[in-house]
């Protein structure tokens, strides 16, 4: 799966998440936008829902990955902090799956 297609999946998931969020806590939907951390209003349960949406979308495209495994949790810098880092992380997981 190409990086631009992965990025589109992540952006679509953010758009979808915004549908259920109050106007005052909307997530930025853009390449490079923050997802989880001090610059984002997304809390930990919101992150779980977002990751599940992304996993479902990737599975529907024939690319099943588990995003919230121990590798992600143990990384010093969370792969979930921005669209850029998450897309890179998914790319790494997909390469590992194919290897």
Partner 1 sequence: MATRTVLVTGATRGLGKALVEHFLNAGHTVIGCGRGETTVTHERYTHWRLDVTDATAVSGMFTELKRTVVTLDVLINNAGVASMNAVALTPLDAARRVVETNFLAAFNFTREALRMMRKSSGGRVVNVTSVAVPLRLEGEAVYAASKSALETFTRIAAHEFAAFNVTCNAVGPCPVETSLTAGVPRQKMDRLVAAQAIQRWARPEDVVNVVDFFLRPESAMVTGQVIYLGGVS
Interface residues with partner 1 (CB under 8 A) are: 45-46, 48-49, 52, 55-56, 59
Q: Which residue has the tokens 């669209």?
A: 83
In whole angstroms, what is the distance from residue 53 CA to residue 92 CA? Answer: 19
Q: Which is nearer to partner 1, 46 or 79 (CB)?
A: 46
Question: What is the nearest approach in angstroms of partner 1 to the Cβ of residue 45?
Answer: 5
Nearest to 42 by CA among 28, 30, 54, 55: 28
Question: What is the nearest approach in angstroms of partner 1 to the Cβ of residue 59?
Answer: 8
Q: Which is nearer to partner 1, 30 or 48 (CB)?
A: 48
Angle subtended by helix axes 83-98 and 44-60, to nearest 10? 40
Question: What is the nearest approach in angstroms of partner 1 to the Cβ of residue 94?
Answer: 18
């Amino acid at each position: 799966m190409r990086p631009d297609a992965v990025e589109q999946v992540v952006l679509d998931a953010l758009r979808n998440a915004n549908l259920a969020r109050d106007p005052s806590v909307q997530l930025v939907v853009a390449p490079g936008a923050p997802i989880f951390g001090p610059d984002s209003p997304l809390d930990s349960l919101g992150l779980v829902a977002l990751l599940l949406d992304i996993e479902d979308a990737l599975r529907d495209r024939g690319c099943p990955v588990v995003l919230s495994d121990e590798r992600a949790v143990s990384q010093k810098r969370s792969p979930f902090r921005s669209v850029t880092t998450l897309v890179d992380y998914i790319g790494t997981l997909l390469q590992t799956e194919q290897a």
